[in-house]
Chains A and B, each alone.
Chain A
Amino acid sequence: EVQLVESGGGLVQPGGSLRLSCAASGFTFTSYAMSWVRQAPGKGLEWVSAISGSGGSTFYADSVRGRFTISRDKSTGTLFLQMNSLRPEDTAIYYCARGTGDYFSSSGFPFSDYWGQGTLVTVSS
């Protein structure tokens, strides 16, 4: 059974940092691209960042580029999102999501077929 379990959310002051983790199990981790998608309270979905199965290709939304870093550890099957210089507008539930396959430049980044339950990040003084 595919499982994705996020952790690391919490309350942080503006300008602070957090590191989100997503523990993956039930599938061959390196064979699938992964993404982070966020949802501000009562709002829609916003794609944040994505990474290929090998970790060799990474992508960011303009709103987080230069502040957030996505990475993955194949030895533990864990996806990460390092978030620095946090702003109040980063407040949201952060979901990790598995792609339907790996990323290939010829076919684009896959849609997400499994999602974690999300972890809440609140940026406030």
Chain B
Amino acid sequence: EIVLTQSPATLSLSPGERATLSCRASQSVSSYLAWYQQKPGQAPRLLIYDASNRATGIPARFSGSGSGTDFTLTISSLDPEDFAVYFCQQRRSWPITFGQGARLEIK
């Protein structure tokens, strides 16, 4: 099973600042990695798929990069609505696995 480790667990920033979240895989997942955003009481929302492709309707301030074992989600300038929990997910091999989540909170 591929283990995804996200860091930091919690990131405290202010609106307008740049956010960088990391996801590291225990073995290569090639580019088969996605990022999701989840707000309290809501279902997850797909942000980025296959490492760097923005999903439909996702603002350009969200970007993804990386391949192999190291991946990054960057939010270029935080909007108040971006404070949420973020999960990475791999589909390179069964079972599909998620990272443990990273909380982005307002400083």
Chain A residues within 8 Å of B, Cβ to Cβ:
35, 37, 44-47, 50, 59, 61-62, 95, 100, 108-113, 115-118
Contact = CB atoms under 8 A, between A and B. Distances in A.
Given A47-B89, A111-B34, A113-B46, 18 more contacts: A35-B96, A44-B100, A44-B101, A45-B36, A45-B44, A45-B89, A46-B98, A47-B96, A50-B96, A59-B95, A95-B44, A110-B91, A111-B50, A112-B44, A113-B56, A115-B43, A115-B44, A115-B45
A111 B91 contact: yes
Interface centre among B43, B56, B99 (most CB of A within 10 A): B43
Contacts, number: 53
Contacts of B36: 45
Contacts of A50: 96
Interface of B: 32, 34, 36, 38, 43-46, 49-50, 55-56, 87, 89, 91-92, 94-101
A118 B46 contact: no
Contacts of B43: 95, 115-118
A45 B50 CA distance: 19
Contacts of B55: 113
B84 to A, nearest CB: 13
Contact of A111 (B46, B56, B95, B97): B46
A109 B32 CA distance: 10
Contacts of A113: 46, 49, 55-56
29 contacts: A37-B44, A44-B99, A45-B36, A45-B44, A45-B98, A46-B98, A47-B96, A47-B98, A59-B95, A61-B95, A62-B95, A95-B44, A100-B49, A108-B32, A108-B91, A108-B92, A109-B91, A109-B96, A111-B34, A111-B46, A111-B50, A111-B89, A112-B44, A113-B46, A113-B56, A115-B44, A116-B43, A117-B43, A118-B43
